[in-house]
Structure 1
Amino acid sequence: MERLLVVLVAVVTLVASGRHDEYASNSVIGIKLRDRSDLKLLSTLESDLDLDIWQDGMPGARDAMVMTTPATQYALIDALDNNGVEYYVVVQNVAKHLEEEEDHLFQWRSQRNSRMIFQDYPRYAEIEAYMESIANQYPNLATLVTAGPSYEGRIIKYLKISTTNFTDTSKPIYFMDAMIHAREWVTTPVALYSIYRLVENLRTEDADLRTDVDWIILPVVNPDGYEYTHTNERLWRKTRSINPLNATCIGVDANRNFDASFNTVGVSSNPCAITYPGITPFSEPETGYIRDIMAEYLNRIQIYMNIHSYGNYVLFGFGDHSLPSNAVHVHHVGAAMGAAIDTMKLPQAGYYLVGNSASVLYSTSGSAQDYGQLVGIPFSYTLELPGYSYLFSVPPEYVDQINEETWRGIAVSARLAKLYYGARSSN
């Protein structure tokens, strides 16, 4: 019966038309992972078939979500059937799913008289303007820094937030970034909301986070890809660089482009694949800026948070199953963060799962999380936000909820990491 449903999907999707035509024959399939062997099977299929995995599942706890194309659908289904793995249809017609997202967002915006930038999915120019206004209005607290141009020439900027203009070396730095994967729209509002809570709307309970911690917040790592998701292809994930060896294949998976076991596992050698790591580490200017920020403030960055969507995970290194020397402390801070978020979670959201990225999910290489840990940042994480049942198309009505609950986790992680920073500074 499951196979029949999937075959019907392939027929039904042929009739789709509209702005998202490139997804008209695509579907999303949920896969019930039973154990580590199923996880290994899916990892192998991802590499062999160049699958687009939307959610990394965890055996017995969370199903995997995979977008299939006509070229991959039947091969995937055959492999799952041959191994007795259950699957089901989540989205029959991806094009229709995206059109519904677009229509809903338009209706939601038309019904709201006003909204804050972090309550919506703003374009890159709006994000730049917001950061500039923060720096102009609060010059003694916020400094706008130009990292450099993206591949297509957009200026990548970040805010430094400090009551002492980054001169007090007794204060740890919390470095967070978002939108390294272009289709993960819900990540940037969390970064923007963090700016808002630290600068414009500091509350009494959070006064210590501003006085005792310095912050670096980069809301959009990948502006070229992000803009492309608005204008051309909603589910674009990579950067927009032109491959010098194959000009028909655009972009690199920026979260596989770091110099941490580069191009070893969890990547594809196909330049057109979504997990293609690039020719060399830091081939992308966007990832180079993260490297440079880490290098400039390495002796003070205590925590690095690379924000993604979706799945409800707090993950840490390393992607090859090895652990950092302070793994117990890293797990402690990550677990406290996840637990704090869970105190506010919606009933339909899963509880945050915390652990080593390779052990919880599967092996990867070249990630920002691993690079941060490798170069000496004590606490380096991948944070996967909730998607609920909407996958990458989280309705804007949920953004406030995600912002609020994630900020609670960020606050807890900042305070705990600061305690460890005191011990680090005294050694």
Structure 2
Amino acid sequence: MTMLVVFLVGFLGLASAGKHDIYAGYTVHGVVIDSLAAQHLLHQLESDFDLDTLQDGAPPDRDAYIMVTPGNNEAFLKKLDENGVKHYVVESNVPRSLEEFDADMMRFHRSRAGREAQPFEYYPRHDEVNEYLEKIAAEYPDLVSLVTAGPSYDGREIKYVKISTTNFEDASKPIYFMDAMIHAREWVTTPVSLYSIHRLVVDRREEDEDLLEGTDWIIYPVVNPDGYEFSHTDERLWRRTRSTNPNPDTECRGADGNRNFDVAFNTTTGVSSNPCSQQYVGAGPFSEVETRYIRDVLHEYLPRIQVYLNIHSHGNWVLFGFGNRTLPANGVQLHHVGAVMGAAIDAVKLPQAPFYRVGNSAMLLYPTSGSAQDYAQHIGVPFSYTLELPGYSYAFQVPVTYIGQITSETWVGIAAQARLAKLHYNDRIRT
């Protein structure tokens, strides 16, 4: 190792020392969700004890992972005990686990010294994402158009790409619109979107030519760049945007972008009017500039958007609306197309990953309102989904070594979903 590399590694280690002290005393507990009663109780306790759900649980065999502040730990566990809900310690020292994740990333980058890694092989920063999009658009101008949606709240340029063999001019082709990173801490979502670009444009394969010839694509890798950057520099588990709250009585910043869309806004559980809550809905529908950009893309191409995929992590779920436990008119078709996606991924998943569960988001997990998934479905996108990627019990700190598996298996599911949805589009334009 050269002296320069030694210096950089040492400097980065010093710079990160104490970085995660904001989580000092926090603990993560597994909660056994073996019944609907246990699931409902946990949702009731979320606001009472300022809980942060790192992994959603569902009966009969998917445990929840809950991060608890030091001041609420004892009372929260007592409440679980009083109700006969089993629990166990997942992480007794959150800062230490985050430091181990940082060290894992550093080891990965050291091991790749001398070889240029592609941004879908690790966790790229926002500037790296934009550089990649610019590079792809410059190298493949007949296939890729680069679009700047506009500045984020803090002024970062938000870019996305349109991919088409016909310059988006053939109305007989459906549009598949995917986005990622609406929740800042869900880092693995952006590599999935970037790998999708790679497979469609750079690593074109004969078996995928129909996906280009028959479908146009909009791929939007980072919805929430301010929150994403903040999760790198200040708070690793930051979830929200970074807008300043108009209420002068609070210093809490940002809103949950996936509760900020204008559909049944702030009308169910699973949301909060507390500006400091992880599920804070915002000052009003589309108060966040970042969600307005997604709204505008949806409306610009609404007649042709056949699939909208809002990518999250984690938990192995393919979810659809509505968040108030009602189903869209095409609920059967929604489930069918979602199930095909989940089954395609399950066929190539790692053994330690659970099988994907497919269904209505409120019925499988919890009611919510103002989600991107529900908004797209509400305004007329036929197939709108939330995809929750694997976590392998690492929550949001999935080791870099798993990224290749997650991106490749998810692409298999995206391809299967796009093909089936296109058949429905053909029926749609004929009628």
TM-score, normalised by the number of residues in structure 1: 0.95
Q: Secondary structure at the match of 2:191?
A: helix
Structure 2 partner of 1:79: 79
Alignment length (residue pairs): 411
**1:363-398 CA deviation, whole Å, 9 max, x = no partner?**
011100000110000000000000002111011110
Asked if residue 24 in structure 1 is aligned to residue 24 in structure 2, the reply is: yes
Once the 2 structures are TM-superposed, how far is the Cα of residue 71 of structure 1 from its aligned partner?
2.4
Asked if residue 376 in structure 1 is aligned to residue 380 in structure 2, the reply is: yes
CA contact (8 A) 2:250 2:275 kept: no
Q: Which amino acid aligns with 2:88?
A: Y
**1:137-182 CA deviation, whole Å, 9 max, x = no partner?**
1111000011111000001111000000000000000000000000
1:236-251 counterparts in 2 under 5 A?
Answer: 236-245=238-247, 246-251=249-254
Q: Secondary structure at the match of 1:98?
A: helix
Structure 2 partner of 1:11: none
**1:260-283 CA deviation, whole Å, 9 max, x = no partner?**
111112111210111000010100
Q: Which amino acid aligns with 1:264?
A: T
CA contact (8 A) 2:50 2:69 kept: no
CA contact (8 A) 1:50 1:268 kept: no
Structure 2 partner of 1:262: 265
In structure 1, the gaps of 5 or more residues are: 1-16
CA contact (8 A) 1:303 1:379 kept: yes
Q: Which amino acid aligns with 1:386?
A: P
Once the 2 structures are TM-superposed, how far is the Cα of residue 37 of structure 1 from its aligned partner?
1.3
Q: Distance in 1 between matches of 2:76 and 2:53?
A: 12
1:46-61 counterparts in 2 under 5 A?
Answer: 46-61=46-61
Once the 2 structures are TM-superposed, how far is the Cα of residue 50 of structure 1 from its aligned partner?
2.7
Q: Distance in 1 between matches of 2:281 and 2:399?
A: 30
**1:174-223 CA deviation, whole Å, 9 max, x = no partner?**
00000000000000000000000000011110000011000000000000
Structure 2 partner of 1:155: 157
Query: Would you identify which runs of 4 or more consecutive aligned residues in structure 1 move more than 4 Å?
Result: none
Structure 2 partner of 1:133: 135
CA contact (8 A) 1:243 1:249 kept: yes
Structure 2 partner of 1:222: 224
Q: Distance in 1 between matches of 2:46 and 2:209?
A: 46
Q: Distance in 1 between matches of 2:330 and 2:307?
A: 13
Q: Distance in 2 between matches of 1:162 and 1:48?
A: 49
Once the 2 structures are TM-superposed, how far is the Cα of residue 410 of structure 1 from its aligned partner?
0.2
CA contact (8 A) 2:311 2:387 kept: yes
RMSD between aligned residues: 0.9
Asked if residue 301 in structure 1 is aligned to residue 309 in structure 2, the reply is: no
1:9-408 counterparts in 2 under 5 A?
Answer: 18-112=18-112, 113-114=114-115, 115-245=117-247, 246-265=249-268, 266-408=270-412
Q: Which amino acid aligns with 2:168?
A: F
**1:104-159 CA deviation, whole Å, 9 max, x = no partner?**
10011101132211000011111000000111111110000111110000011110
Q: Distance in 1 between matches of 2:285 and 2:73?
A: 32
Q: Secondary structure at the match of 1:403?
A: helix
CA contact (8 A) 1:47 1:267 kept: no
- Greater shift in the superposed pair: 414-423 or 64-73: 64-73
- Greater shift in the superposed pair: 61-70 or 313-322: 61-70
**1:318-361 CA deviation, whole Å, 9 max, x = no partner?**
01000000000000000000000001111111110110000000
Once the 2 structures are TM-superposed, how far is the Cα of residue 46 of structure 1 from its aligned partner?
1.2
Q: Which amino acid aligns with 1:78?
A: K
Q: Secondary structure at the match of 2:120?
A: helix
Q: Distance in 2 between matches of 1:278 and 1:253?
A: 7
Structure 2 partner of 1:4: none
Q: Distance in 2 between matches of 1:76 and 1:260?
A: 32
Q: Distance in 1 between matches of 2:299 and 2:85?
A: 45
Q: Which amino acid aligns with 2:52?
A: D
Q: Which amino acid aligns with 1:252?
A: A
TM-score, normalised by the number of residues in structure 2: 0.94
Once the 2 structures are TM-superposed, how far is the Cα of residue 247 of structure 1 from its aligned partner?
4.4
CA contact (8 A) 2:50 2:68 kept: no
